[in-house]
């Protein structure tokens, strides 16, 4: 069981560039989430999904898009990168109806 | 969403018991209380979850009084490797729980030798 995997681990973007952060889980979890964590702060929910084909906004969705075509994958898209999106991004998954979330190792993104 | 309040930081020494208290005055009837641990450059890791009274696992204990307006995470005999940020989360409803959890700033625990 690999758990929750994220790629890439690190990335530097220029302002205005776009990229996709990949997230996959092999635990057959229905729920998947994207969080961002700024230095010294707690995690903020960007988007979440309760199953394939179903996504919804979290606290800070502006500037991001998601899709969930399969149970396993939940990519996060940044269309026009801005310095304010410099952060560490964590993907997580959970079994429906519980609060137990498994987190990935994170992607450290810098926008210059 | 129930708001939580935790101390910003705590210091302890190896071998001591550490208790971190979280206040959640407006907790709802169907809310659960969950604690996570986060090491630098890693994602949070689930520690323990409870609804009322006391829950214990191999890592920690969680004490929840009858009014459920606070909870205390107890770490027995901490070691240097327990130095981390600890988050208290309160979430709404079994069916909604997964998507309603909000992370606060957490408590930075520093364990010294």
pLDDT tens digit sequence for A48-89? 998 999 999 988 999 999 999 999 999 999 999 999 999 999
Q: Which of A55-59, A64-68, A94-98, B88-92 has the highest mean pLDDT?
A: A64-68
pLDDT (0 to 100) of residue A8: 97
| Distance between CA atoms of residues A106 and A4, nearest Å | 10
Q: Nearest-5° angle of CA B103, CA A7, CA B44? A: 25
Confidence of residue B104 (pLDDT cuts 50, 70, 90): confident
Sketch out chain A's domains with CATH numbers.
4-111 (2.60.40.10)
Q: Please compute the mean of the pLDDT values over residues B62-68 and round it to a whole number.
A: 96
B108 at A interface, C-beta within 8 A: no
pLDDT tens digit sequence for B29-48: 888 888 999 998 899 998 99
From residue A79, give the alpha-carbon distance in Å to each of A20, A64, B54.
9, 7, 46
Please report where in the chains the tokens 């889980």 appear, as a residue. A25
Tell me if A27 sits within 8 A of A93, measured CB to CB.
yes
Q: Please compute the mean of the pLDDT values over residues B48-60 and round it to a whole number.
A: 93
B54 at A interface, C-beta within 8 A: no
Residues of B in contact with A105 (CB under 8 A): 42-43
| Distance between CA atoms of residues A44 and A46, nearest Å | 6
Dump the DSSP string for B4-61: -B--SEEEEETT--EEEEEE-TT--TTEEEEEEEE-TTS--EEEEEESSEEEE-SS-E
Q: Nearest-5° angle of CA A16, CA A22, CA A26? A: 170
Residues of B in contact with A97 (CB under 8 A): 94-95, 97-98
Starting at the earlier edge strand, list the strands of the sheet with B53-56. B18-23, B70-75, B61-64, B53-56
Nearest chain A residue (CA) to B98: A99
| Distance between CA atoms of residues B41 and B80, nearest Å | 17
B98 at A interface, C-beta within 8 A: yes
B40 at A interface, C-beta within 8 A: no
Q: Please compute the mean of the pLDDT values over residues B19-29 and round it to a whole number.
A: 91
Residue A34 has pLDDT above 50, yes or no: yes
| Distance between CA atoms of residues B4 and A13, nearest Å | 35
Superfamily of domain B9-112: Immunoglobulins (2.60.40.10)
Tell me if A93 sits within 8 A of A32, measured CB to CB.
yes
The widest CA-to-CA distance across chain B, in whole angstroms, is: 43
Residue B94 has pLDDT above 50, yes or no: no
Residues of A in contact with B98 (CB under 8 A): 31, 33, 48, 50, 94, 96-99, 101
CB-CB under 8 Å, B102 with A100:
no
How close B97 comes to chain A (CA, Å)? 6
Residue A92 vs residue A95, higher pLDDT: A92
3-state secondary structure of B82: helix
How many CA atoms lie less than 13 Å away from B81 in the CB half-sphere? 1
Residue A45 has pLDDT above 90, yes or no: no
Domain range annotation of chain B: 9-112
Nearest to B34 among A44, A59, A99 (CB): A99
Nearest chain A residue (CA) to B42: A105
| Distance between CA atoms of residues A110 and A47, nearest Å | 20
pLDDT (0 to 100) of residue B12: 97
């Amino acid at each position: 069981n690999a758990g929750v995997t994220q790629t890439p681990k690190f990335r530097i973007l220029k302002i205005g560039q776009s990229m996709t952060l990949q997230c996959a889980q092999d635990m057959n979890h229905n729920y998947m989430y994207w969080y961002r964590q700024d230095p010294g702060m707690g995690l903020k929910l960007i988007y979440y999904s309760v199953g394939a084909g179903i996504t919804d906004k979290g606290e800070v969705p502006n500037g991001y898009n998601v899709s969930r075509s399969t149970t396993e994958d939940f990519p996060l898209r940044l269309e026009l990168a801005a310095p304010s999106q410099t952060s560490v991004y964590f993907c997580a998954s959970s079994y429906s109806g519980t609060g137990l979330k498994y987190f990935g190792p994170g992607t450290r993104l810098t926008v210059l | 969403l129930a708001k939580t309040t935790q101390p910003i930081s705590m210091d302890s020494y190896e071998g001591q018991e550490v208790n971190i208290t979280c206040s959640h005055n407006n907790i709802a009837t169907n809310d659960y209380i969950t604690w996570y641990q986060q090491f630098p450059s890693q994602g949070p890791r689930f520690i323990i979850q409870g609804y009322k009274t006391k829950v214990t696992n191999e890592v920690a204990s969680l004490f929840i009084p009858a009014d459920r307006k606070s909870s205390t995470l107890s770490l027995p005999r901490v070691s240097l490797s327990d130095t981390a940020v600890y988050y208290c989360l309160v979430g709404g409803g079994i069916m909604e729980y997964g998507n309603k959890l909000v992370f606060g700033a957490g408590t930075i625990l520093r364990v010294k030798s």
